[in-house]
């Protein structure tokens, strides 16, 4: 089991620093933390330590990622939760596993993930790509983000 710092390093690399892209539905962001999700925060002056704390408490813990045993799956699930939302990320995993999609990593999701016959990581990666391709079909104005999303998935690997 890798420490949280190994996971957050990848997330912070993907998210980068301060951005205020008018095409981004999340609005103003820093380290991937958006003003729309955290309207009370001074996004522009958010510190790395603040971002790490938010990611740990509001994503890692809420997603119950310590229940999963496959490090690379946890990384992809965490990354998807950050990029598309916790419920979306978990439901996508549950769909991949062929189990009820409640958006919660409970005992069934953990058990089925940990005992999956086949390459659950590769299956989840394909599900992520399909999800983003679907988003672009439904919301063509977001097509400008598709290559970035696919690159993000491709580059979701531990840094060390």
CATH number of the domain at 103, please: 1.20.141.10
* 159 inside domain: no
**Which of helix, strand or coil describes residue 7?**
helix
Let me know if residue 116 belongs to a domain: yes
Do the domain assignments include residue 11?
A: yes
Query: Which residues span the domain enclosing 101?
Result: 4-154
The average pLDDT across 114-124 equals 92
Q: What are 31-88's pLDDT values in tens digits?
A: 999 998 899 999 999 999 999 999 999 999 999 999 999 999 999 999 999 999 999 9
pTM of the model: 0.92
The CA distance from 126 to 64, in Å, is 22
**Rounded to an integer, what distance in angstroms lies between the CA atom of residue 137 and that of residue 134?**
5
Task: Give the count of domains, the chain.
Answer: 1
Q: Let me know if 159 is exposed, middle or buried by CB neighbors in 10 A (0-12, 13-18, 19+).
A: exposed
Residue 10 falls inside a structural domain = yes
Q: Is residue 160 part of a domain?
A: no
């Amino acid at each position: 089991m890798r420490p949280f710092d190994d996971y957050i390093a990848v997330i912070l690399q993907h998210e980068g620093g301060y951005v205020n892209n008018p095409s981004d539905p999340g609005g103003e962001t820093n380290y991937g933390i958006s003003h729309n999700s955290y309207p009370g925060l001074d996004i522009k002056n958010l510190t790395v330590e603040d971002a790490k704390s938010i990611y740990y408490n509001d994503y890692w813990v809420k997603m119950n990622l310590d229940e999963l045993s496959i490090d690379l799956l946890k990384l992809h699930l965490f990354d998807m939760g950050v990029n598309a939302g916790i419920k979306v990320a978990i439901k996508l995993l549950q769909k991949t596993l062929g189990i009820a999609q409640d958006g919660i990593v409970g005992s069934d999701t953990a058990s089925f993930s940990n005992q999956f016959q086949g390459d659950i990581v590769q299956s989840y990666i394909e599900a992520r790509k399909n999800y983003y391709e679907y988003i672009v079909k439904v919301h063509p104005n977001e097509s400008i983000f598709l290559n970035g999303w696919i690159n993000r998935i491709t580059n979701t690997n531990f840094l060390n």
